[in-house]
């Protein structure tokens, strides 16, 4: 499980990049090379290690006039720092319920909406003193800021991952992907017996969904 948790980090990022761009790009023959390059340049620049992250969702919000381009958190020049600070302020504004009209959630295997993300964030902070909320802007494009909302667990490694996932599951939260698949089964399966059988098999995969959004660095 621990090794799978490490390998899913790339898959989450690939889906994130596809959310940035027109999906046709992600289906093109050159997409894998573009995604690999984007992955190397944009995500592997952090020196800090020994932490884990639970990806709540990847979303977009209105940019409110912010200039397009990628964000480089490793840069310490005044322009980069100011640009990221403006992006954070803009994102946080659109996370407010009264401003949610400007928020779109693209990658949401774990939560259905921002309200569910808030509840998981509160639960994590209550049970893990090393849990912090991370708003990670990645790119401004087409009038939108693309960002990830995460829960970071500092001083976490492979030995801690299983316990963190287990505790987060005890919150009672059911992953959005599981709910959506269950709804599809109920709509499209035949007899009630078949539905019950398929739902039992689906419920066995809940751990896989949690692990797919949990990354170890």
Q: Is residue 173 part of a domain?
A: no
Q: Is residue 193 part of a domain?
A: no
**What tokens were used for 110?**
């774990």
Q: Are 113 and 105 in contact (CB under 8 A)?
A: yes
Range of the domain at 133: 2-166+210-216
| pLDDT at residue 14 is higher than 80 | no
Distance CA 91, CA 80 (A): 16
Residue 134 DSSP one-character state = E
End-to-end CA distance of the chain: 15
Question: Does residue 109 sit in helix, strand or coil?
Answer: coil
pTM, full prediction: 0.75
| pLDDT at residue 33 is higher than 70 | no
Using one digit for the tens of pLDDT, what is the confidence trace for 43-64? 443 445 689 999 999 999 999 9
| pLDDT at residue 213 is higher than 50 | yes
Q: Is residue 191 part of a domain?
A: no
Q: Is residue 196 part of a domain?
A: no
**Per-residue confidence (pLDDT) for residue 210, from 0 to 100:** 94
| pLDDT at residue 127 is higher than 60 | yes
| pLDDT at residue 24 is higher than 80 | no
Q: How many domains does the chain have?
A: 1
| pLDDT at residue 13 is higher than 50 | no
């Amino acid at each position: 499980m621990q090794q799978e948790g490490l390998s899913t980090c790339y898959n989450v990022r690939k889906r994130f990049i596809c959310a940035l761009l027109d999906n046709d790009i992600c289906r093109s023959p050159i997409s894998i090379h573009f995604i690999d390059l984007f992955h190397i340049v944009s995500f592997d620049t952090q020196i800090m290690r020994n932490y884990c992250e639970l990806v709540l969702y990847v979303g977009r919000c209105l940019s409110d006039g912010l200039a397009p381009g990628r964000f480089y958190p490793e840069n310490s020049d005044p322009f980069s720092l100011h640009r990221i600070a403006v992006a954070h302020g803009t994102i946080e504004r659109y996370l407010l319920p009264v401003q949610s009209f400007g928020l779109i959630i693209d990658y949401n295997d774990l939560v259905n909406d921002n309200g569910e993300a808030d509840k998981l964030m509160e639960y994590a902070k209550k049970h893990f003193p090393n849990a912090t909320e991370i708003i990670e802007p990645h790119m401004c494009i087409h009038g939108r800021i693309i960002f990830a909302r995460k829960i970071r667990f500092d001083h976490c490694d492979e030995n801690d991952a299983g316990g963190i996932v287990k505790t987060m599951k005890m919150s009672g939260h059911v992953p959005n992907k599981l709910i959506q698949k269950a709804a599809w089964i109920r709509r499209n399966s035949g007899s009630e017996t078949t539905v019950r059988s398929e739902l039992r098999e689906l419920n066995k995969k809940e751990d896989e969904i949690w692990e797919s959004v949990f990354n170890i660095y």
